Chain A
Amino acid sequence: NAGVTQTPKFQVLKTGQSMTLQCAQDMNHEYMSWYRQDPGMGLRLIHYSVGAGITDQGEVPNGYNVSRSTTEDFPLRLLSAAPSQTSVYFCASSSIPYGYTFGSGTRLTVV
């Protein structure tokens, strides 16, 4: 099925560990982004990319790295996980003005 694929769906990390959340889309969208969702705060933009080789920071970028080597993939790296990064993460791709497609989310717990 066409769309945005996020892996893994669930992850538990220990404080200080690193990991990469994977995101892939097969719609040839130029724009991709990562959000985190926390209770009462909606979805907040972490990083985004307007095309391969171009990334920029969103509202809450600290503690996260991204890269965009291909149009299809936009991985999110946690360099040294902290309990404050416990959240649900969503990847999205879009082709303005046609709207955004979201992945199914990754529930991350940092202990």
Chain B
Amino acid sequence: AQKVTQAQTEISVVEKEDVTLDCVYETRDTTYYLFWYKQPPSGELVFLIRRNSFDEQNEISGRYSWNFQKSTSSFNFTITASQVVDSAVYFCALSDNTDKLIFGTGTRLQVFP
């Protein structure tokens, strides 16, 4: 069965600190997709990244970076020089060949000025 674990329920940092959000997944499929979504206080779900199981290259987008390691079944998300606007709930999610998207329980990030 598929499963996504986000062990960090809540993280608090001060502005400009770096922060890493952990995501560990379980699947028996060899083809799958991993996602990160951001949910700001306004409530909508904002797509951040999609990564397929055959592409283990790390990705950087501005202050955001993602570290995909199949050996440890992890897909961690790092925010560099965090800002107050980064305060949100972040969800990691997994999709296999059945198209179902399974979410982790989310990590609430609070960035204080």
Contacts and interface: CB of A to CB of B under 8 A. Distances in A.
Interface residues of B, number: 21
B52 A99 contact: no
Contact of B50 (A50, A97, A102): A97
B30 to A, nearest CB: 14
20 contacts: A33-B100, A40-B9, A41-B105, A42-B103, A43-B91, A43-B103, A90-B45, A94-B99, A94-B101, A96-B95, A96-B99, A97-B50, A97-B52, A98-B50, A99-B35, A99-B50, A100-B47, A101-B47, A102-B44, A105-B45
Interface string B79-113: 00000000000010001000111111110000000
A-side interface mostly = strand
Contacts of B100: 33, 45, 48, 58
Given A97-B52, A102-B45, 11 more contacts: A42-B104, A45-B102, A48-B100, A58-B100, A92-B101, A98-B50, A99-B47, A99-B50, A100-B95, A102-B37, A105-B45
A105 B44 contact: yes
Interface in A69-106: 88, 90, 92, 94, 96-102, 104-105
Contacts of B103: 35, 42-44
Given A42-B106, A100-B35, A48 B99 contact: yes
B41 interface: no
B99 A31 contact: yes
A100 B45 CA distance: 10
A41 B103 CA distance: 9
